[in-house]
Structure 1
Amino acid sequence: MFDYLKQWYNRKFSDPDAVTLFLLLLTTFALIILFSDILAPILVALVLAYLLEWPVQRLERTGIPRLSAVGIVFLSFVALNVVLLLFLVPVIWQQSVALVGELPQMFAQVKVLLNRLPEMFPEYISQANINTFIETTTSRALLFGETLLSQSLGRIVGIMALLIYLIIVPLLVFFMLKDKHQLLRHVSRILPSNRRLIAQVSDEMNMQIMNYIRGKAVEVVVVGVFTYLCFAFFELRYAALLAVLVGFSVLIPYIGAAVVTLPVFLVALFQFGWTGMFAWVMVVYLIIQALDGNLLVPLLFSEVVNLNPVYIIAAVLVFGGLWGFWGVFFAIPLASLVKAVITALSTKPEPTELLEDKN
């Protein structure tokens, strides 16, 4: 066994490029894990810079100088965020407060409806099962509320940090876009000379990450807006809040859609009861989820490497456990990175590449 591991190590890591790639990945992951709180503004700025780089490149292709293109895109981005803060955020906040205030009534109505199930289906559901389910759900809801309250009280300092981010992150985004080529040259000087595999992996991942961030932004907007229009058509209460939740749920593959279904179900059931209107709302919601998964996602992420759902869910669990929201958000690119690294280590360099490295 030891001889086999030794042969595998000599075969995979005898190449200096492989050692360089491994050390770079190990250092990067260690820095993010150990200093994630400190590096958070830089990571957020990188994500936004990737998102805004696409319109900047489109403006450059029309003949506009890069500095002017960066100024136009950046000012448009800031203006859009100001509009959202002034108009959308207050509506979401008001609906959130109203929804939290009505949650006890919603749970009481759901309890009444659940107690009717043994009368409707006596052969399949008993009152004892309903009582056990209600007690378990109530205890977990209370525990969740206590945890949420304690975290909210303990994160007052986080609000101040958020205000600081509103100043630091836009500045970082602007200078990352403005001095992109200069920053890339600085990074290139830091990297060692044996970087054939680093270049191979970075070239493959650069386009994937850019397409992924841009595609996710478009997916959130399209799903959120379309959901709001459908919910508003049915005059569903808290339509804006639910639409925002459904829109952001696409950031978490598979799991997000399952989690956000519960508030949509509760609000629709509380407003319409077991009626045809409730059924229509849920059918339309399921159609939106189906169109997102089977039509919108293939269109937006056609250039991203297709991964098996098992790998995607495993990536969400692993990277989400390591880095929280950002680990979940980048689960697919990180899984693609692992795949790209394995592919790069498995491919043997061409003779011409070896000669170039020696020269």
Structure 2
Amino acid sequence: MANDFETIKKNANSFILEIHKFIRENFEVSIGDQKKYLDSVTKDSVKTGQAKLGSFIISISDVLLDSTIMIVYTFLFLIYKEHFKLFFAKLIKQENHAVLQDILSQIKVSINNYIVSLIIEMIVVSILTGLGLWIIDVKYFILLGLITGILNLIPYIGIFIAGVITVLASLTGSGEISVILGILIVNIIVQFIDNNLLVPLIINTKVEINAFVSIMGIIVGGAAAGIAGMFLAIPLLAILKIIFDRIDSLSAWGYLMGNHVPRKFVWRKRKITTEN
């Protein structure tokens, strides 16, 4: 892509020219008037953009710092995992050690399943995206499909970044609007399949968390800790569910987070039962 920079620049200019022509033919606004409007908007954007540039750089540095801290914390957690186990054993009464051991073993299984499901999701998204880009004849379709699959692991933001990279890569071949629209359609279709089929069938079934709780967890995690919180929301919810399921006073919350969907509810005095 770096070697094709001049081609990208040329096709980008032709793409912008096609947009100008489309606006002129359909909205009767001359190209000169469009450029004057863009110049005025650009001047205002430069003034505000200079003020926002510093905050943008700070935001990027915060993301990089958070990512580095997460790696360090993970490394330290793995080193001291036995130390944490002994801490929990000392914290909990002797008669509850069997429950603690069960919780820890189930957490390990759940996290392993989550990682495996993420890898499967990444592979399927990469294949579907690469296949779609190959159909619409986009250059580097294998590489772009793989990039999309990896970035898709970042909720919401990842697919947007992958789309921008794919659009830039498509300009190495041609600047036709039909190709850009084709890329958008491919990404929308793949995201629809991912959100409505892959996530419920692969990830949610592996961690046994229903879709409603998963979405709410991602939103809360994003508000609390940004991208890192969104990425860690589902495994943390899986850990909480395992703990809730094994504590009698919290078992109702574990049931609420699970995938159990009874077909019919039967309400009775002082007692609620379910019938399938």
Structure 1 and Structure 2 fold alike (TM over 0.5): yes
Q: Which residue of structure 1 aligns with residue 89 of structure 2?
A: 189
Say yes or no: does 1:113 pair with 2:113.
Answer: no
Which runs of structure 2 are paired with 1:272-311 in the superposition (5 Å)?
272-274=174-176, 280-301=182-203, 302-304=205-207, 305-308=209-212
Match in the other structure for 2:262: none
Q: Which amino acid aligns with 1:306?
A: N
Aligned equivalent of 2:261: none
Q: How does 1:184-333 map to 2 (within 5 A)?
A: 185-193=85-93, 199=100, 205-228=107-130, 230-231=132-133, 235-239=137-141, 241-268=143-170, 271-274=173-176, 280-301=182-203, 302-304=205-207, 305-308=209-212, 312-333=214-235
Q: After superposing the two structures, state which structure 1 stretch, 293-302 or 282-291, moved more.
A: 282-291
How far did 1:193 drift? 2.4
Aligned residue number for residue 267 of structure 2? none
Q: CA RMSD in A?
A: 5.4
- Aligned mates of 2:179, 2:225 — CA distance in 1: 41
How far has the Cα of 1:246 moved from its partner? 1.0
Sequence identity percentage: 22
Greater share of helix: 1
5+ long unaligned stretches in structure 2? 253-276
Report what 1:5 is aligned to. none
Q: Measure the CA separation in 1 of the matches of 2:19 and 2:185.
A: 21
Q: TM-score, normalised by structure 1?
A: 0.46
Amino acid in structure 1 at the alignment position of 2:27: P
Letter in 2 for 1:220: M
- Aligned partners of 1:336, 1:255: CA distance in 2, in Å? 23
Contact 1:228 1:239 in 2 (8 A): yes
Using CA pairs under 8 Å that are at least 6 residues apart, name the structure with larger relative contact order, 1 or 2. Answer: 1
Q: How does 1:1-359 map to 2 (within 5 A)?
A: 95=1, 97=2, 108-122=13-27, 131=37, 135=41, 139=45, 185-193=85-93, 199=100, 205-228=107-130, 230-231=132-133, 235-239=137-141, 241-268=143-170, 271-274=173-176, 280-301=182-203, 302-304=205-207, 305-308=209-212, 312-336=214-238, 346-347=250-251
* Residue type at the aligned position of 1:191: L
**CA distance in structure 1 between the partners assigned to 2:210 and 2:226 by the alignment:** 23
Displacement of 1:183 after TM fit?
5.9
Contact 1:201/1:340 (<8 A) preserved: yes
- Deviation at 1:222? 3.2
Unmatched runs of 5 consecutive residues or more in structure 1: 1-94, 349-359
Q: How big is the shift at 1:317?
A: 4.4
